[in-house]
């Protein structure tokens, strides 16, 4: 059993900052990558940022220069620092991880329950 537990969402004014955390726990053998997706009302879920075990990062163009994703491999945790937030960043943010539960097991996608981020004055 694998769980992803998210924290850090909330309401913030435009230009403000929030920090999201996601911790993976359970029967984890290896984590290939972790990251965040978001889904706004009426829109498809989209990648925000992802980071590999080796530390390579990938960001959506819309958040480059404003969001920073970091990872603590020892704690199986990722942190998304979101600065200069805009109303269009409002969405439910979902943590995602590609996890293997055994030496011979394939990697599968796991998802958190989602955390609401609202940017509004």
Q: What is the pLDDT of residue 90?
A: 98
Q: What is the pLDDT of residue 24?
A: 97
Q: What is the pLDDT of residue 89?
A: 98
Cα gap 118→106, rounded to integer Å = 36
Whole-angstrom CA distances from 24 to 9, 45, 82, 98 are: 17, 21, 20, 10
Structure tokens at 51: 């980071």
Helix (H, G, I), strand (E, B) or coil at 101: coil
Cα gap 76→95, rounded to integer Å = 12
Residues 62-67: contacts with CB under 8 Å, at least 24 apart: 62/88, 63/89
Q: 80-94 in b/e burial notation, b at 16+ Cβ within 10 A?
A: bebeebeeebbbbbb
Mind listing the pLDDT tens digit of every residue in the chain (121 residues)?
899 999 999 999 999 999 999 999 999 999 999 999 999 999 999 999 999 988 999 999 999 999 999 999 999 999 999 999 999 999 999 999 999 998 778 999 999 999 999 999 9
Q: What is the pLDDT of residue 104?
A: 79
Q: What is the pLDDT of residue 63?
A: 98
């Amino acid at each position: 059993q694998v769980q992803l537990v998210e924290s850090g969402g909330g309401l913030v004014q435009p230009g403000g900052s929030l920090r999201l955390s996601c911790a993976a726990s359970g029967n984890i053998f290896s984590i290939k990558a972790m990251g965040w997706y978001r889904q706004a009302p009426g829109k498809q879920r989209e990648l925000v940022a992802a980071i590999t075990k080796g530390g390579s990062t990938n960001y959506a163009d819309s958040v480059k220069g404003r969001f920073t994703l970091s990872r603590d491999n020892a704690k199986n945790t990722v942190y998304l620092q979101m600065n200069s937030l805009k109303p269009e960043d409002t969405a439910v943010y979902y943590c995602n991880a590609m996890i293997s539960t055994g030496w011979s097991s394939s990697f599968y996608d796991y998802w958190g329950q989602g955390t609401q981020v609202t940017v509004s004055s």
